[in-house]
Amino acid sequence: AQSVTQPDIHITVSEGASLELRCNYSYGATPYLFWYVQSPGQGLQLLLKYFSGDTLVQGIKGFEAEFKRSQSSFNLRKPSVHWSDAAEYFCAVGNTGNQFYFGTGTSLTVIP
Amino acid sequence: GAGVSQSPRYKVAKRGQDVALRCDPISGHVSLFWYQQALGQGPEFLTYFQNEAQLDKSGLPSDRFFAERPEGSVSTLKIQRTQQEDSAVYLCASSFTGTGGTDTQYFGPGTRLTVL
């Protein structure tokens, strides 16, 4: 069975600081990995996704994520956080069987 | 419209009432998902459609939950005899291809259901 773990329920960073949100997955085959962001009152929006190939993927809004098979991780990073990045971030894993699983999310607070 | 729409945005039901939640996916999208998001949790998969075919309903929590997409576009999630534990945000998402589990999903704003 697939599963996704986001160990950090809540993270606070200062504006301009770097950010890393952790995600660990459990899946027997090559996973299809996603990061979505949910802002207050907004729907979920895709930040980036990984299927195969280059393990460092670039997304929107300056985000990137690195797939590490040996660690079963797909951590999200951003070099310099902006106040508008405050939101809930969800890691997710999908498969060709059309099953899709989200983690429990990490809430990001940005301090001015 | 350009995006996924859901209606109503908010629904308050008395325990025992039936409710119907509507999802209008992006035109032409083959795949459609329903998720349930409890407060402070991530979305949990309920069911998946490929066109009009419901290929996976393993996430539906009980036989009180029923979903349909009769013409392969609009979908309705129906909850019969609502219970307090059904209170949640119900999200709908669509994707262009028939492999929704691997494709980008576009989410609607959700319907917040409160059961009193």
pLDDT digits (tens, 9 = 90+) for B85-108: 999 999 999 999 877 778 889 999
Which of chain A's residues have a Cβ under 8 Å away from the Cβ of B46? Answer: none
A98 to B41: CB separation less than 8 angstroms, yes or no: no
* pLDDT at position A110 over 80: yes
Position B74 pLDDT exceeds 80: yes
Name the amino acid, one letter, at B86. Answer: D
B55 close contact with A: CB closer than 8 A = yes
The predicted structure's pLDDT at residue B8 = 97
B53: CB partners within 8 A, 6+ apart: none
- Residues 6+ positions from A54 with CB-CB distance below 8 Å: none
The Cα diameter of chain B in Å comes to 38
- Strands B75-79 vs B19-24: parallel, antiparallel or unpaired: antiparallel
pLDDT for position B1: 53
pLDDT score at B5: 95
**Higher per-residue pLDDT: B39 or A75:** A75
Residue A41 pLDDT: 75
Tokens of A64: 């990137």
> Under a CB-based contact definition with an 8 Å cutoff, are residues A28 and A52 in contact?
no
Interface check for A103 against chain B (CB to CB < 8 A): the answer is yes
pLDDT at B10 over 60: yes
What pLDDT sits at residue A30? 74
Residue B92 sits at the chain A interface (C-beta within 8 Å): no
What is the DSSP pairing of strand A10-14 with strand A106-111? parallel
First to last CA, chain A: 41
Q: Which of B38, B34, B31 is nearest to B114 (CA)?
A: B38
- For residues B45 and B60, what is the distance between their CA atoms, to the nearest angstrom? 8
Residues of chain A neighbouring B31 (CB-CB closer than 8 A): 98
Does the pLDDT value for residue B48 go beyond 90? yes
Closest residue on chain B to A97 (Cα): B101
Would residue B51 be called left, alpha or beta, if left means φ above 0 and alpha means ψ between -120 and 50 degrees? Answer: left
- Chain A touched by B42 (CB under 8 Å): yes
Q: Please give the Cα distance from B21 to B112 (Å, whole number).
A: 10
pLDDT computed for residue B67 by the predictor: 98
